[in-house]
Amino acid sequence: MSDMLILGTRKGTVIFERTNGAWRPRPIAHAGIPVCYAARDPRDGTLWVSLDHGHWGPKLSRSRDDGKTWEDTSSLKYPEGARYIAKYLPTPDFDPEAPVGQPEYQDATVFKIWHLAFGSAEQAGRIYAGTIPGGLFVSDDGGDSWTLNRPLWNHESRGGDLFAGEATSENRWGGTPASIDYGVFEPGIHSVVVDPRDPNRIHVAVSSAGVLETADGGQTWQGRNNGLLMDYLPNPAADWGHDPHFMTNCTGQPDHLWQQNHCGVFYSDDGARHWRKVSLPDAGVHFGFPIAVDARDGRTAWVVPARADSERMAIGGGLCVARTTDGGQTWQAFRAGLPQEHAYDIILRHGLDIAGDCLCFGSTTGNVYMSEDRGETWQCLGNHFPPVYSVRFG
Amino acid sequence: MTSHLYRFFPALEDRAITVPAGSVAEVLQAVNQLAPGFTDYILDERGALRRHVYLSVDDTIVVDRKALSDRVPEHGVVYIFQALSGG
């Protein structure tokens, strides 16, 4: 059972500790700085925070003394020669009917360090970072230095090896609206899932491209989008262009992967080789951002449903958490302890986490709720936090 | 410079920083010698000015935001601003 909870918020890092059964927040760290992701490395206890500075560029901040002191690092950078084929920003003057021109190459810089994942216990110092504009970085020295994973960056689905020259294929990765804040329309890696049985097997989810898998430690990558369906492009089952919002796995049954996608909830029980749409719109389970999976039973998952697409708020003014225990065939909605009127909260993609029987989520309205009985009843941990971007048990 | 940078580089606070004249890029690199990591806050990994950062040499806004080739004359003063907004 975890006794630490780490919130990344628009105004800094909020760490809760549980003492004598009560969760209490410490004074905010990184005060005033947007924190898009924060998590604890379970191997050595290091706290990691992704700072989303509006002015000074994305930085990582780490603490090796449980949050007493923090050290900022700027070492995660795109290497010289890293380029991508720019996507057009969907601005009002963008003409979708305009003839396709020559690829426009852009030198890569980091806009956002969106997600961090940690290697296996045997891989001391191995950390992964997913970024906008769509690069996966790897560190083998505890975050002192980072290397761009080039096979993924140079994937055929993205135009080929632009380090070596011109594009050899079409860029079929779409942009994520989350990148528009940075003045671009580029993809982002928000989910990095390491297989605990075999740390060379890694799945990443990319908005808006889909899922890719490596089975050889990142030397080669294959698309894993079979069964995903999208409702915003002419071909719903196209290889690329999918918009997973968050993907995670069951650590005890790692072939069971789940994703809350823009176009529904999808489940795979064969390591992402096939996905099945398991959302039930009539039950309110369809759109949303985060998803959590039980650590032992790969058929059990939780989502926080929201209304798509133009409203983006809680359904019917009330918050609920839905759970399935049968791989998405049925869903049960739980509302006890959650507001049921005048609630407009959205829970973003990293805003829900699970540890044992405990679940916690934080919303864009600054409300934080905790369940200690597998999501059936909820208690409020506070209503006045800054907008919450990420929630992780420590 | 904007006082917000002192939070990250307290060694630069409350002092006039004098470095040799040259291009804006050279001036910033000289400041980076005094406060390692300073340029990572002002510039991206391509050496271009970050989007919401403005520099001026005396009262002239820096034109070349990409390579920072604008010249800083002897006794010229470089100012660093940030565009603040939001709540």
Complex confidence, ipTM: 0.91
Tell me the residue range of the domain where B29 lies. 3-82
Residue A290 has a pLDDT of 98
CA distance A11 to A106: 31
What was the pLDDT predicted at A91? Answer: 64
Domains contained in chain B, number? 1
Could you tell me the two tokens for B67?
């390579």
B24: pLDDT strictly greater than 90: yes
Residue of B nearest to A77 (CA): B45
Name the nearest CA neighbour of A74 among B87, B32, B10, B25. Answer: B32
Residue B87 lies in a domain: no
A109, B46: Cβ pair inside 8 Å?
yes
A183: which chain B residues are within 8 Å (Cβ-Cβ)? 51
Q: How far is A79 from chain B (nearest CA, A)?
A: 8
A53 contacts on B by Cβ (under 8 Å): 41
pLDDT value of residue A393: 98
Q: How far apart are CA A254 and CA A193, in angstroms?
A: 9
Write out residues 29-68 of B within 8 Å (CB-CB) of A.
Answer: 37, 40-42, 44-46, 48, 50-53
Question: And the tokens for A358?
Answer: 């405990």
Count Cβ atoms below 10 Å from residue A154 Cβ, excluding itself.
18
| Residues of B with Cβ-Cβ distance to A110 under 8 angstroms | 44-45
Task: Find the largest Cα–Cα distance for chain A.
Answer: 65
- What is d(CA B71, CA B74) in angstroms, rounded to the nearest whole number? 10
Contact: B41, A183; criterion CB under 8 Å:
no
Domain of residue A198: give its range: 33-393
**Which of residues B82 and A257 earns the better pLDDT score?**
A257
> Does residue A15 lie within any of the structural domains?
no
For residue A353, give Cα distances in angstroms to A39, A176, A291, A347, A348: 11, 23, 8, 11, 11
Which CATH number fits the domain that encloses residue B72?
3.10.20.30
Closest residue of chain B to A184, computed from CA coordinates = B51
% of chain A beyond a pLDDT of 90: 88
What are the pLDDT digits (tens) for A34-75? Answer: 999 999 999 999 999 999 998 999 999 999 999 999 999 888
Residue A236 has pLDDT above 70, yes or no: yes
Show residues of chain A in contact with B4, CB under 8 Å. Answer: 55
Question: At B29, phi and psi to the nearest 5?
Answer: -65, -35
Does residue A369 contact residue A377 with C-beta atoms inside 8 Å? Answer: no
pLDDT at A100 (0 to 100): 67
Q: Under an 8 A CB cutoff, do B44 and A183 touch?
A: no
CB contact under 8 A, A182 and B51: yes
Structure tokens at A138: 């790897």
Alpha helices in B1-87 (DSSP H): 24-34, 38-42
- Residue A88, pLDDT above cutoff 80: no
Domain count of chain A? Answer: 1
CB of A184 closer than 8 Å to CB of A133? yes
Q: What is the mean pLDDT of residues A160-168?
A: 95
* A18 belongs to a structural domain: no
N-to-C CA span, chain A: 10
On the question of pLDDT at A94 being above 70, the answer is: no
Q: Which residue of A has its CA nearest to B44?
A: A109
Computed over every residue of chain A, the mean pLDDT equals: 95
pLDDT at A383: 96
Band the pLDDT of A90: cuts 50, 70, 90.
Answer: low
Compute the average pLDDT of residues B46-54: 94
Q: What is the mean pLDDT of residues A106-118?
A: 97
What CATH number has the domain bearing residue A46? Answer: 2.130.10.10
Residues of A with CB under 8 A from a CB of B: 53-57, 59, 72, 74, 77-78, 107, 109-110, 182-183
Tokens linked to A120 = 């296996």
Give the model's confidence band at A92: pLDDT under 50 very low, under 70 low, under 90 confident, else very high: low
Q: Are B80 and B42 in contact (CB under 8 A)?
A: yes
